Amino acid sequence: MYEYIKGNITNIKSNYIVVDNNGIGYLIYVANPYVYEENKEYTIYTYQNINETENTLYGFTSIEEKELFLKLISVKGLGPKVALPFFATGSINGIKDAIERENILYLKKFPKIGDKLARQIILDLKGKLGNIVVDDNTNDNSLIELEEVLLGLGYKDKEIKSIIPNINKELNIEEQVKEALKLLLR
């Protein structure tokens, strides 16, 4: 099992990246490959899924994301391919909050998550995510998260950097995205 892989990104596709580590290219499925840049070095925290038909690596930007992913795939009926899109927005606290508050509508917005599976997630994980601590109090983290979301939506880095100073850092991520989109559409 691999804890993490550190190396240069050599290829970015719609649902995976290739990380070169000492001449070996690791194909790693990630929620949002567009948060990475080619020819830059990253540390990717990984989960290796091995079963009868596949041997797959899933990657995360932080150890906290990986820990939450491991909790999610422990839920009956929720495999790695279904759990990975939870991390496309990068909002670990949003997922934790939805589970703790039993927000079924929030959970159902993810692909292949219906009413039954959303209730199962809440049943299995409510009250069990306290050990996954994320420091979202810094303004830089929320702005990094906003940049990742906008990159995922297809906006260019230069466009994003030009509007970031105009974003209210006290807003939650959803409100920041709305504010950023208004500025980008002008």
Indicate whether 54 and 69 sit together in one domain: no
Tokens of 113: 């998550």
How many helices and strands (H and E) does the chain possess? 8, 5
Q: Are 77 and 117 spatial neighbours (Cβ–Cβ below 8 Å)?
A: yes
Number of structural domains in the chain? 3
pLDDT single digits (tens) 55-104: 999 999 999 999 999 999 999 999 999 999 999 876 788 899 889 989 99
Q: Are strands 24-29 and 55-60 parallel, antiparallel or unpaired?
A: parallel
Per-residue b or e along 49-75, where b marks 16 or more CB atoms closer than 10 Å to that residue's CB: eeeeeeebbbbbbeebbbbbbebbbeb
The DSSP output letter for 13 is -
- Reply yes or no on whether the pLDDT at 139 is more than 60: no
Indicate whether 50 and 76 sit together in one domain: no
Domain that holds residue 70: 63-125
- Reply yes or no on whether the pLDDT at 137 is more than 90: no
For residue 26, being part of any structural domain is answered with yes
For residue 101, being part of any structural domain is answered with yes
For residue 132, being part of any structural domain is answered with no
Q: Are 167 and 178 spatial neighbours (Cβ–Cβ below 8 Å)?
A: no
For residue 35, being part of any structural domain is answered with yes
166: CATH? 1.10.8
pLDDT single digits (tens) 167-180: 877 778 888 888 88
- Reply yes or no on whether the pLDDT at 114 is more than 90: yes
102: CATH? 1.10.150.20
Per-residue b or e along 79-118, where b marks 16 or more CB atoms closer than 10 Å to that residue's CB: ebbbbbbbbbbbbbbbbbebbeeebbebbeebeebeeebb
Count other C-beta atoms under 10 Å from residue 46's C-beta. 20
Indicate whether 56 and 72 sit together in one domain: no
Q: Are 102 and 163 spatial neighbours (Cβ–Cβ below 8 Å)?
A: no
